[in-house]
């Protein structure tokens, strides 16, 4: 007895895709979103009702690369796949509804008509944040009272103790160690203009963005007020600059909605490497702080790397 294959309707396919763990959405030939699955809702915070019919370039998704470049306007893999019919894979940072950036790996494939011509494109993506490591770290910090309650990051006490321990490891094993100090620009004006509740939301947004792009074996925490610190193990001066610049660019491309308006902030950063076996927490932080001051003095929203030579190197934003 022959068994006939079941007839699958479009609604059945949608129901199947809604059970997939990866985020999936489809663009038509006009770059409008025509499908948005349940996983996409969970990973972005945006529902299908909020996105269907919109274009990727609308003020909604705003995907950027690691330099902060807006991919929707320059180098969109979905548009390219629909033009040349070639699949693509890349890593971008999506814009969560809460305002922060989330690192994702995307896979794009063209959809073809009956003649084989690419007419639309489907994108699937997966969150590449090391969530298990983050959750384990948060639990450990809670257990030891090392958690900053507002941002969910490590607090100053834990940062100082970890920096002391890593300086010792760097001395014993010959590893390199870098520190990045970060400060939200004009944060007092945010509190004065929008209120302290909005200021708290800005702190949380910046914290989520920093945590999402920090390597699993590094540490980012709240130093105090609107200041944050990152500790980077086994890093070079070039890597330190590149990571600091990534922090800067992605915070600049994040936002929170306050009273119906999108509120964006920038950060200034100062970076320094541990120099020798006689380095201390106080000296290393002081050098990073000095570099942060140079970034502030030079116009804010930039990175300065401390150099033991008389001059300091800085990467300036456009």
pLDDT tens digits for range 150-172: 999 999 999 999 999 999 988 88
Q: Are strands 23-27 and 118-127 parallel, antiparallel or unpaired?
A: antiparallel
Just list the catalytic residues.
226
The pLDDT of residue 42 is 84
Give the pLDDT band (50/70/90) at residue 312. Answer: low
The pLDDT of residue 318 is 43
φ and ψ of 155, to 5 deg: -90, 180
Mean pLDDT taken over the chain: 86
Q: What is the pLDDT of residues 249-290, one digit of tens each?
A: 999 999 999 888 899 999 999 999 998 777 899 999 999 999
Query: Mind listing the domains of the chain with CATH numbers?
Result: 10-127 (3.30.450.20), 131-315 (3.30.70.270)
What are the Cα distances from residue 234, in Å, to 109, 167, 264? 37, 11, 32
Distance CA 25, CA 18 (A): 11
């Amino acid at each position: 007895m022959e068994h006939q294959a079941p007839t699958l309707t479009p609604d059945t396919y949608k129901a199947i895709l809604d059970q997939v763990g990866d985020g999936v959405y489809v663009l038509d030939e006009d770059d409008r979103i025509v499908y948005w699955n349940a996983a996409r809702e969970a990973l972005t915070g945006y529902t299908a009702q909020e996105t269907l019919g919109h274009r990727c370039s609308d003020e909604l998704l705003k995907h950027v690369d690691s330099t902060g470049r807006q991919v929707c306007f320059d180098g969109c893999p979905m548009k390219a796949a629909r033009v040349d019919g070639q699949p693509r894979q890349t890593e971008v940072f999506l814009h969560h509804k809460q305002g922060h950036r989330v690192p994702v790996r995307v896979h794009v494939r063209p959809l073809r008509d009956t003649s084989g011509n690419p007419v639309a494109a489907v994108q699937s993506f997966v969150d590449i944040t090391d969530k298990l490591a983050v959750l384990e770290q948060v639990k450990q910090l809670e257990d030891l009272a090392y958690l900053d309650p507002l941002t969910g990051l490590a607090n100053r006490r834990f940062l100082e103790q970890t920096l002391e321990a890593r300086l010792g490891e760097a001395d014993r094993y010959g590893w390199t160690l870098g520190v990045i100090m970060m400060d939200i620009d004009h944060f007092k004006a945010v509190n004065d203009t929008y209120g302290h509740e909005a200021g708290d939301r800005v702190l949380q947004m910046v914290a989520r963005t920093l945590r999402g792009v920090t390597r699993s074996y590094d540490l980012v925490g709240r130093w105090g007020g609107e200041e944050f610190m990152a500790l980077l193990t086994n890093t070079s001066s070039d890597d330190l600059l590149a990571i600091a610049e990534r922090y800067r660019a992605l915070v600049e491309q994040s936002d929170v909605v306050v009273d119906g308006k999108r509120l964006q902030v920038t950060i200034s950063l100062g970076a320094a490497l541990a120099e020798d076996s006689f380095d201390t927490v106080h000296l290393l932080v002081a050098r990073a702080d000095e570099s942060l001051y140079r970034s502030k003095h030079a116009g804010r929203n930039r990175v300065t790397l401390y150099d033991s030579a008389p001059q300091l190197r800085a990467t300036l934003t456009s």
